[in-house]
Amino acid sequence: MRVLILGGTSEARRLAEQLARDERFDAMLSFAGRTASVADPGVPYRVGGFGGVDGLCEHLRREGYHALVDATHPFAAQMSRHAAHAAERLALPLARLEEPPWQPVPGDRWLEVASMTEAAAALGPTPRRVLSSVGRLELAAFAAAPWHDYLVRAVDPFEPPLPRARVIAARGPFRLEDERALLERERIEVLVSKNSGTRSTYAKIVAARQLGIPVIMVRRPSVPVVASMSSVPEALAWLEAVHGASRTWRGV
Protein backbone atom coordinates (compact mmCIF):
# COMPACT_ATOMS: atom_id res chain seq x y z
CA MET A 1 0.00 0.00 0.00
CA ARG A 2 1.44 3.34 -1.07
CA VAL A 3 1.43 6.00 1.67
CA LEU A 4 2.32 9.68 1.33
CA ILE A 5 3.45 11.28 4.60
CA LEU A 6 3.38 15.07 4.65
CA GLY A 7 6.35 15.78 6.88
CA GLY A 8 7.76 18.57 8.97
CA THR A 9 7.86 16.93 12.40
CA SER A 10 10.00 14.30 14.09
CA GLU A 11 6.90 12.08 14.28
CA ALA A 12 6.67 12.09 10.48
CA ARG A 13 10.25 10.89 10.25
CA ARG A 14 9.72 8.16 12.84
CA LEU A 15 6.57 6.95 11.08
CA ALA A 16 8.42 6.78 7.75
CA GLU A 17 11.22 4.80 9.38
CA GLN A 18 8.73 2.29 10.80
CA LEU A 19 6.95 1.87 7.46
CA ALA A 20 10.26 1.39 5.66
CA ARG A 21 10.76 -1.79 7.71
CA ASP A 22 7.31 -3.16 6.86
CA GLU A 23 6.98 -4.87 3.47
CA ARG A 24 3.25 -4.19 3.39
CA PHE A 25 3.88 -0.47 2.84
CA ASP A 26 5.61 1.70 0.28
CA ALA A 27 5.93 5.10 1.97
CA MET A 28 7.19 8.46 0.73
CA LEU A 29 8.05 11.29 3.11
CA SER A 30 7.38 14.77 1.71
CA PHE A 31 9.04 17.99 2.90
CA ALA A 32 7.79 21.45 2.01
CA GLY A 33 11.33 22.72 1.48
CA ARG A 34 10.93 25.76 3.74
CA THR A 35 14.45 25.21 5.10
CA ALA A 36 17.58 25.23 2.97
CA SER A 37 19.06 22.15 4.63
CA VAL A 38 16.81 19.10 4.87
CA ALA A 39 18.36 16.38 7.03
CA ASP A 40 18.38 13.07 5.15
CA PRO A 41 15.69 10.97 6.87
CA GLY A 42 17.17 7.70 5.69
CA VAL A 43 13.94 6.76 3.86
CA PRO A 44 12.53 7.70 0.43
CA TYR A 45 11.61 11.38 0.42
CA ARG A 46 10.77 14.33 -1.80
CA VAL A 47 11.20 18.09 -1.31
CA GLY A 48 8.93 20.84 -2.60
CA GLY A 49 5.32 21.95 -2.82
CA PHE A 50 2.55 20.48 -4.92
CA GLY A 51 0.92 23.57 -6.40
CA GLY A 52 -2.16 23.84 -4.23
CA VAL A 53 -5.03 21.38 -3.89
CA ASP A 54 -5.18 20.63 -7.63
CA GLY A 55 -1.47 19.86 -7.74
CA LEU A 56 -1.68 17.63 -4.68
CA CYS A 57 -4.63 15.73 -6.19
CA GLU A 58 -2.72 15.22 -9.43
CA HIS A 59 0.35 13.98 -7.56
CA LEU A 60 -1.67 11.54 -5.46
CA ARG A 61 -3.41 10.17 -8.58
CA ARG A 62 -0.27 9.97 -10.71
CA GLU A 63 1.79 8.19 -8.05
CA GLY A 64 -1.02 5.84 -7.07
CA TYR A 65 -1.19 6.56 -3.35
CA HIS A 66 -3.70 4.67 -1.23
CA ALA A 67 -3.49 6.71 1.99
CA LEU A 68 -2.35 10.14 3.17
CA VAL A 69 -0.89 11.06 6.56
CA ASP A 70 -0.69 14.73 7.50
CA ALA A 71 2.26 14.96 9.89
CA THR A 72 3.10 18.58 9.12
CA HIS A 73 3.91 21.15 11.78
CA PRO A 74 0.76 22.22 13.68
CA PHE A 75 1.22 25.73 12.27
CA ALA A 76 1.31 24.53 8.64
CA ALA A 77 -2.44 25.11 8.50
CA GLN A 78 -2.62 25.75 4.76
CA MET A 79 -1.04 22.39 3.94
CA SER A 80 -3.42 20.64 6.35
CA ARG A 81 -6.36 22.30 4.62
CA HIS A 82 -5.04 21.27 1.21
CA ALA A 83 -4.60 17.68 2.42
CA ALA A 84 -8.17 17.55 3.72
CA HIS A 85 -9.63 18.93 0.49
CA ALA A 86 -7.55 16.60 -1.69
CA ALA A 87 -8.45 13.54 0.36
CA GLU A 88 -12.14 14.43 0.16
CA ARG A 89 -11.98 14.87 -3.62
CA LEU A 90 -10.22 11.55 -4.15
CA ALA A 91 -12.04 9.63 -1.38
CA LEU A 92 -8.58 8.87 0.01
CA PRO A 93 -8.08 7.78 3.64
CA LEU A 94 -6.50 10.67 5.59
CA ALA A 95 -5.32 11.02 9.16
CA ARG A 96 -3.38 13.70 10.99
CA LEU A 97 -0.46 12.79 13.24
CA GLU A 98 0.44 15.49 15.74
CA GLU A 99 1.39 15.72 19.38
CA PRO A 100 -1.09 17.55 21.62
CA PRO A 101 -0.36 21.19 22.45
CA TRP A 102 1.65 22.00 25.54
CA GLN A 103 -0.35 22.89 28.62
CA PRO A 104 0.81 25.35 31.30
CA VAL A 105 1.84 23.85 34.63
CA PRO A 106 2.49 25.51 38.01
CA GLY A 107 5.39 27.93 37.66
CA ASP A 108 4.72 28.79 34.01
CA ARG A 109 4.13 32.47 33.24
CA TRP A 110 2.27 32.21 29.95
CA LEU A 111 0.39 34.83 28.02
CA GLU A 112 -1.51 33.00 25.28
CA VAL A 113 -2.24 34.90 22.07
CA ALA A 114 -3.95 33.99 18.80
CA SER A 115 -1.49 35.39 16.25
CA MET A 116 2.00 36.76 15.65
CA THR A 117 0.53 40.26 15.47
CA GLU A 118 -0.87 39.83 18.97
CA ALA A 119 2.46 38.38 20.14
CA ALA A 120 4.33 41.47 18.90
CA ALA A 121 1.85 43.77 20.63
CA ALA A 122 2.11 41.75 23.85
CA LEU A 123 5.82 42.54 24.14
CA GLY A 124 4.78 46.03 25.20
CA PRO A 125 6.26 49.52 24.75
CA THR A 126 9.30 49.04 27.00
CA PRO A 127 12.39 47.58 25.24
CA ARG A 128 13.01 43.97 26.26
CA ARG A 129 15.46 41.20 25.42
CA VAL A 130 13.43 38.64 23.46
CA LEU A 131 14.17 35.08 22.42
CA SER A 132 12.04 34.26 19.38
CA SER A 133 11.61 30.69 18.17
CA VAL A 134 8.65 31.30 15.87
CA GLY A 135 10.67 30.85 12.67
CA ARG A 136 11.83 32.98 9.78
CA LEU A 137 8.52 33.27 7.96
CA GLU A 138 6.64 34.67 10.97
CA LEU A 139 9.20 37.28 11.97
CA ALA A 140 7.83 40.10 9.80
CA ALA A 141 4.96 40.64 12.26
CA PHE A 142 7.46 41.87 14.86
CA ALA A 143 8.47 44.82 12.66
CA ALA A 144 5.61 46.55 14.48
CA ALA A 145 7.74 46.42 17.64
CA PRO A 146 11.29 47.27 16.44
CA TRP A 147 12.51 48.68 19.76
CA HIS A 148 13.10 45.25 21.31
CA ASP A 149 16.37 43.30 21.13
CA TYR A 150 15.55 40.01 19.39
CA LEU A 151 17.57 36.83 19.49
CA VAL A 152 16.02 34.74 16.71
CA ARG A 153 16.59 31.01 16.53
CA ALA A 154 15.96 29.27 13.20
CA VAL A 155 17.13 26.17 11.35
CA ASP A 156 18.91 28.18 8.65
CA PRO A 157 20.77 31.50 8.96
CA PHE A 158 19.10 34.51 7.33
CA GLU A 159 19.10 38.29 7.41
CA PRO A 160 16.39 39.35 9.89
CA PRO A 161 13.93 42.08 8.88
CA LEU A 162 14.37 43.80 12.25
CA PRO A 163 16.90 46.49 13.13
CA ARG A 164 17.83 45.06 16.54
CA ALA A 165 17.93 41.34 15.87
CA ARG A 166 20.51 38.57 15.78
CA VAL A 167 19.97 35.11 14.30
CA ILE A 168 21.38 31.88 15.66
CA ALA A 169 21.02 28.81 13.45
CA ALA A 170 20.27 25.61 15.33
CA ARG A 171 18.24 22.45 14.86
CA GLY A 172 16.58 20.58 17.74
CA PRO A 173 16.29 18.58 19.85
CA PHE A 174 17.63 20.95 22.51
CA ARG A 175 18.86 19.95 25.97
CA LEU A 176 17.48 21.64 29.06
CA GLU A 177 20.89 22.65 30.37
CA ASP A 178 21.76 24.27 27.04
CA GLU A 179 18.45 26.15 26.87
CA ARG A 180 18.85 27.44 30.39
CA ALA A 181 22.43 28.53 29.68
CA LEU A 182 21.28 30.37 26.54
CA LEU A 183 18.56 32.27 28.41
CA GLU A 184 20.97 33.25 31.17
CA ARG A 185 23.89 34.17 28.88
CA GLU A 186 21.72 36.34 26.65
CA ARG A 187 19.85 37.87 29.61
CA ILE A 188 16.53 36.99 27.96
CA GLU A 189 13.53 38.74 29.52
CA VAL A 190 10.72 37.13 27.51
CA LEU A 191 10.33 34.09 25.24
CA VAL A 192 8.03 34.06 22.20
CA SER A 193 7.06 30.58 21.05
CA LYS A 194 4.54 28.71 18.94
CA ASN A 195 2.64 26.02 20.81
CA SER A 196 4.04 23.23 18.66
CA GLY A 197 3.68 20.58 21.37
CA THR A 198 6.87 18.83 20.25
CA ARG A 199 9.05 17.12 22.81
CA SER A 200 12.24 18.09 20.98
CA THR A 201 11.70 21.82 21.66
CA TYR A 202 9.95 21.73 25.04
CA ALA A 203 13.19 22.27 26.98
CA LYS A 204 13.03 26.04 26.36
CA ILE A 205 9.64 26.13 28.10
CA VAL A 206 11.02 24.26 31.10
CA ALA A 207 14.08 26.54 31.22
CA ALA A 208 11.87 29.64 31.14
CA ARG A 209 9.78 28.19 33.97
CA GLN A 210 12.86 27.50 36.08
CA LEU A 211 14.18 31.02 35.55
CA GLY A 212 10.83 32.76 36.01
CA ILE A 213 10.87 34.13 32.45
CA PRO A 214 7.45 34.93 30.93
CA VAL A 215 6.40 33.18 27.73
CA ILE A 216 4.21 34.64 25.02
CA MET A 217 2.63 31.48 23.63
CA VAL A 218 0.99 31.60 20.20
CA ARG A 219 -1.98 29.25 19.94
CA ARG A 220 -2.31 26.82 17.07
CA PRO A 221 -4.38 27.83 14.04
CA SER A 222 -7.59 25.93 13.31
CA VAL A 223 -7.44 23.10 10.78
CA PRO A 224 -10.10 20.78 9.26
CA VAL A 225 -11.38 18.01 11.49
CA VAL A 226 -10.05 14.64 10.32
CA ALA A 227 -9.09 11.39 11.99
CA SER A 228 -6.27 12.26 14.39
CA MET A 229 -3.67 10.47 16.45
CA SER A 230 -0.95 11.70 18.77
CA SER A 231 1.68 8.98 18.46
CA VAL A 232 3.47 6.91 15.85
CA PRO A 233 2.05 3.59 17.20
CA GLU A 234 -1.47 5.00 16.79
CA ALA A 235 -0.67 6.06 13.22
CA LEU A 236 0.72 2.60 12.46
CA ALA A 237 -2.44 0.99 13.83
CA TRP A 238 -4.57 3.27 11.63
CA LEU A 239 -2.54 2.41 8.54
CA GLU A 240 -2.76 -1.29 9.32
CA ALA A 241 -6.55 -0.95 9.48
CA VAL A 242 -6.59 0.91 6.15
CA HIS A 243 -4.35 -1.77 4.66
CA GLY A 244 -6.70 -4.50 5.85
CA ALA A 245 -9.72 -2.69 4.44
CA SER A 246 -7.99 -2.18 1.08
CA ARG A 247 -7.29 -5.90 0.84
CA THR A 248 -11.01 -6.52 1.34
CA TRP A 249 -11.92 -3.98 -1.35
CA ARG A 250 -9.56 -5.70 -3.79
CA GLY A 251 -10.94 -9.12 -2.98
CA VAL A 252 -7.60 -10.39 -1.61
Name the CATH superfamily for 110-218: NAD(P)-binding Rossmann-like Domain (3.40.50.720)
Domain residue limits, the chain: 2-100+221-249, 110-218
Q: What angle do CA 57, 51, 156 make, to 5 degrees?
A: 125
Average pLDDT of the segment spanning 225-232: 94
User: Would the pLDDT of 252 be above 60?
Assistant: no
**Are 98 and 9 in contact, with CB atoms under 8 Å apart?**
yes
> Considering the entire predicted model, what is its pTM?
0.86
pLDDT digits (tens, 9 = 90+) for 57-112: 999 999 999 999 999 999 999 999 999 999 999 999 999 999 999 999 999 999 99
Domain 2-100+221-249 matches domain 110-218 at the CATH topology level: yes
pLDDT digits (tens, 9 = 90+) for 214-224: 999 999 999 99
pLDDT digits (tens, 9 = 90+) for 112-165: 999 999 999 999 999 999 999 998 889 999 999 999 999 999 988 999 989 999
**pLDDT computed for residue 8 by the predictor:** 85
- The one-letter amino acid code at 153 reads R
**pLDDT computed for residue 113 by the predictor:** 98
For residue 247, what pLDDT band results from cuts at 50, 70 and 90?
Answer: low
Mean pLDDT of the chain: 92
**Which fold, 2-100+221-249?**
Rossmann fold (3.40.50)
- The one-letter amino acid code at 20 reads A
